[in-house]
């Protein structure tokens, strides 16, 4: 390989749209890119995805490139890139999986691996190995398995092993740990003021378990640890974290990917070309300077120009071995297996729904299934602010249609995250005259007005169910609500599972993976 080939193999790039256009092909060949990450805007149907990924690998072969790493963020829950027709195969969130039982993470990883393999992917940026022990975390939360490091470690290891068993490369993230932050690194630079001893005790345990399970790849975190990092650098750009700690002390021998370098945690402080150079110098094998073709080309040119500042040999050896292991032909489509997988996702989702409370809460919920309400009211609050990692997806009218099929007098109100004061009195009147009120909140703990309103509803209507449709911490808002349910997210599988509980088709058996 010449220098440009070596540089290209160390870049993972992206492009807009669902087609391999001449402009996209020219960009990939010119940059000699080693990998491509797809987002929702690249993926419209399963047939289109399979075709696109096949065309990409044909392009690489025609132009003398090693096979592309073709990656995606398919965590389940609120982070899924799959098109609507694959909705039945989108796993519940990792926290929902943890709530469903010890077998669920491996089961969901197996389903996801089979889906991605037959679509032509070879790398999934999952599972999330962060320990979510901060209820105020705006970007991880239900993406993590829970708050207990030992439990998270076991579940991360099980998921890694399931991915590997199906020939798909998993990539744990976000090293050295993004669980105890209060800033979304897409929007700013999180600062975590923990000591090295604390890092050893909590954040690093799931990563050690993943390494022991044979995880072949890791993604960095754009986080500043001022008590640990001697140079004041975010972990993604830190030789201490990526070389001294990760390679030296922890002995990780797999491929290291930076997180996307256009995220504001990095891009507000460094140019993307400069950050690409710094992360590779720090010890990453692959930089992800996503964005426009021009920006990504500038990164490639900067790395070529700074060729004497990088030793490409160790990284290329790891990357080429990685590609030989995981760049496999797509798996064949098996309709029977796809149906089994959909059934498995449904089972995990149903087992994940968690009732928080005592036996009185269970009795109250059971009474609903014995007699359908005559005047049910659903108040469904929107999410106040979605992280960019979610790509603006919304849950849609699924719950309304499922409940309306059984409750003919259903009133279903989709409400903005911050309801106006003018509507509050009218909503309380509706709640008072209903015989059942279901309130779906999405991170209402961060919205004092909404939290106060929820308490007001419970005050006027004792038959109120509080449903935390995103982070389960919302259930602490109104402990007096007679029934409190957690779904850990609102992908189709979790919404269908919630409807099954409300309609008495199943009973909630989930166990909280976090402390409320």
Peptide bond before residue 127 is cis, with ω within 30 degrees of 0: yes
Contact criterion met (CB below 8 Å) for 97 and 105? yes
User: Can you say whether the dihedral through the CA atoms of 23, 24, 25, 26 is positive or negative?
Assistant: positive
Rounded Cα gap, residues 147 and 140, in angstroms:
11
Instruction: Measure the CA angle with vertex 477, ends 355 and 455; round to 5°.
Output: 105
DSSP secondary structure string, 3-47? HHHHHHHTBEE--SSSS--HHHHHHHHHHT-SEEEE-GGG-S-HH
Determine the Cα–Cα distance for residues 333 and 15; give it in Å rounded to an integer.
Answer: 27
Helix-strand-coil split of the chain, %, nearest 5: 50, 15, 40
CB count in 10 Å sphere of residue 446: 17
Strands (E), 94-142: 123-124
Sequence-ordered list of residues with C-beta below 8 angstroms from that of 55, at least 6 positions apart, any chain: 20
Catalytic residue among 73, 259, 285, 341: 259
Q: At 258, which helix (H) or strand (E)? A: strand 255-260
Q: What is d(CA 73, CA 455) in angstroms, rounded to the nearest whole number?
A: 37
Is residue 147 flagged as an active site residue?
no
Question: What is the Cα gyration radius of the chain?
Answer: 24
Please confirm, yes or no, whether 259 is among the known catalytic residues. yes
Of 166, 186, 364, 406, which one is the catalytic site residue?
A: 186
3-state secondary structure 387-433: CHHHCCCCCCCHHHHHHHCCCCCCEEEEECCCCCHHHHHHHHHHHHH
Q: What are the residues whose beta carbons fall under 8 Å from the beta carbon of 452, sequence distance 6 or more? A: none
d(CA 304, CA 4): 6
Paired with 191 in beta bridges are 224
Which residues are catalytic, by number? Answer: 186, 259
């Amino acid at each position: 390989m010449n220098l440009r080939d070596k540089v290209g193999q160390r870049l993972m790039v992206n492009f807009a749209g669902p087609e391999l256009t001449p402009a996209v092909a020219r960009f990939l060949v010119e940059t000699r890119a080693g990998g491509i990450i797809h987002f929702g805007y690249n993926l419209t149907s399963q047939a289109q995805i399979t075709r696109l990924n096949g065309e990409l690998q044909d392009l690489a072969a025609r132009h003398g490139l090693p096979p592309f790493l073709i990656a995606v963020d398919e965590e389940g829950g609120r982070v899924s890139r799959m098109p609507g027709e694959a909705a039945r195969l989108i796993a519940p969130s990792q926290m929902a999986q943890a709530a469903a039982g010890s077998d669920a993470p491996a089961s969901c990883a197996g389903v996801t691996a089979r889906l991605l393999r037959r679509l032509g992917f070879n790398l999934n940026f999952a599972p999330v190995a962060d320990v979510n022990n901060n209820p105020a975390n705006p970007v991880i939360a239900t993406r993590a398995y829970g708050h207990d490091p030992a439990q998270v470690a076991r579940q991360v290891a099980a998921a890694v092993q399931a991915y590997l068993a199906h020939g798909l490369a998993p990539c744990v993230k976000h090293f050295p740990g993004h669980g105890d932050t209060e800033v979304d690194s897409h929007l700013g630079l999180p600062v975590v003021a923990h000591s090295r001893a604390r890092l050893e005790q909590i954040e690093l345990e799931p990563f050690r378990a993943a390494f022991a399970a044979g995880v072949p790849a890791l993604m960095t975190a754009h986080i500043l640890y001022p008590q640990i990092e001697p140079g004041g650098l975010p972990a993604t750009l830190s030789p201490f974290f990526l070389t001294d700690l990760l390679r030296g002390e922890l002995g990780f021998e797999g491929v290291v990917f930076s997180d996307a370098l256009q995220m504001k945690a990095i891009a507000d402080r460094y140019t993307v070309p400069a950050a690409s150079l710094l992360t590779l110098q720090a010890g990453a094998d692959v930089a992800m300077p996503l964005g426009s073709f021009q920006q990504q080309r500038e990164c490639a040119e900067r790395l070529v120009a700074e060729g004497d500042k990088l030793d490409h040999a160790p990284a290329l050896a790891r990357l080429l071995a990685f590609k030989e292991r995981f760049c496999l032909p797509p798996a064949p489509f098996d309709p029977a297996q796809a149906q089994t997988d959909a059934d498995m996702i449904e089972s995990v989702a149903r087992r994940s729904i968690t009732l928080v409370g005592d036996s009185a809460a269970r009795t109250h919920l059971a009474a609903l299934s014995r007699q359908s309400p005559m005047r049910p009211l659903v108040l469904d609050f929107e999410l106040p602010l979605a992280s960019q990692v979610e790509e603006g997806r919304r849950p849609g009218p699924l719950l309304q249609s499922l409940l309306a099929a059984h409750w003919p007098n259903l009133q279903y109100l989709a409400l903005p995250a911050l309801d106006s004061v003018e509507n509050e009195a009218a909503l309380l009147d509706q709640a008072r005259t209903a015989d059942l009120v279901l309130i779906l909140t999405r991170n209402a703990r961060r919205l004092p007005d909404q939290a106060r309103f929820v308490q007001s509803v419970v005050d006027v209507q004792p038959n109120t169910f509080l449903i935390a449709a995103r982070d389960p911490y919302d259930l602490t808002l109104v402990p007096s609500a007679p029934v409190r349910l957690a779904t850990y997210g609102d992908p189709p599988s979790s919404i269908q599972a919630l409807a099954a509980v409300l309609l008495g088709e199943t009973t909630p058996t989930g166990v909280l993976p976090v402390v409320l």
